[in-house]
Amino acid sequence: MVKRTIEKLVGGAVLLLSAAAGLMAEHIESKQAPLFVVERSTNANVVHYDANIASNGELDPRQPISAYWVMAAVDGHREELTALEKSRAYGFTVEPSRESNAYRLRLVAQKQRDISIVREGEAVRAEAVIGGHRAVLKKMYVNTHKVLAVPTVKYIELFGIDVATGETVSEKVLP
């Protein structure tokens, strides 16, 4: 009886370790490709948006996009967004696009502006209309001020590269 119980425990532990190893291998095989960043006037911390590439080279359909902080004002470490940040400022929705291996991203703070996440060959990029030009989105800059201790957006600037001409484009958006 004791021997059978030990065999079950050992067997369960081996099964659990095998499953964990499989998840780790899947995570190791996937990689991230930088898309764009959001900088703010308040400090040097930056939100990064990355495409998650599955081991088969396609955008990961389970979670095609990740967003996280790089705490440059502190020591440069990475932090996940909080639930409040996801719901109010830096969160997003993502859904498959009509084109294959492409997604439509909408930021919580910029719901009226679609961002297309496109994979062509080895390249992944975020495309948006910036100043009337179809462009590769590189950066957003959010200028804020405090009203009764609550940060309020004064304006957002979008920066990118025109897809057709390769020229730098920008646009200032008022809330």
Phi, psi for 62 (deg, rounded to 5): -70, -40
Three-state DSSP at 88 gives helix
Q: Per DSSP, what are the bridge partners of residue 31?
A: 53
Q: Kindly write down the DSSP assignment for every residue of 96-160, as one continuous string.
A: E-SSTTEEEEEEGGGTTS-EEEEEETTEEEEEEEETTEEEEEEEEEEEEEEETTEEEEEEEEEEE
What is the distance between the terminal CA atoms of the chain, rounded to a whole angstrom?
71
Per-residue pLDDT for 3 more than 70?
Answer: no
3-state SS class at 32: strand
Question: Alpha-carbon distance 120 to 108, whole Å?
Answer: 26
- Which pLDDT does position 163 carry in this prediction? 96
Who wins on pLDDT, 29 or 114? 114
**CA-based nearest residue to 36, from 88, 79, 74, 92:** 92
User: How confident is the model over 49-100, as pLDDT tens digits?
Assistant: 999 999 988 999 999 999 999 999 999 999 999 999 999 889 999 999 988 7
Q: Nearest to residue 64, comparing CAs of 81, 49, 84, 78?
A: 49
Per-residue pLDDT tens for 95-137? Answer: 999 887 799 999 998 888 999 999 888 899 999 999 999 999 9
Q: pTM score, two decimals?
A: 0.80
Q: pLDDT grade, residue 142 (50/70/90)? A: very high
pLDDT score, position 91: 95
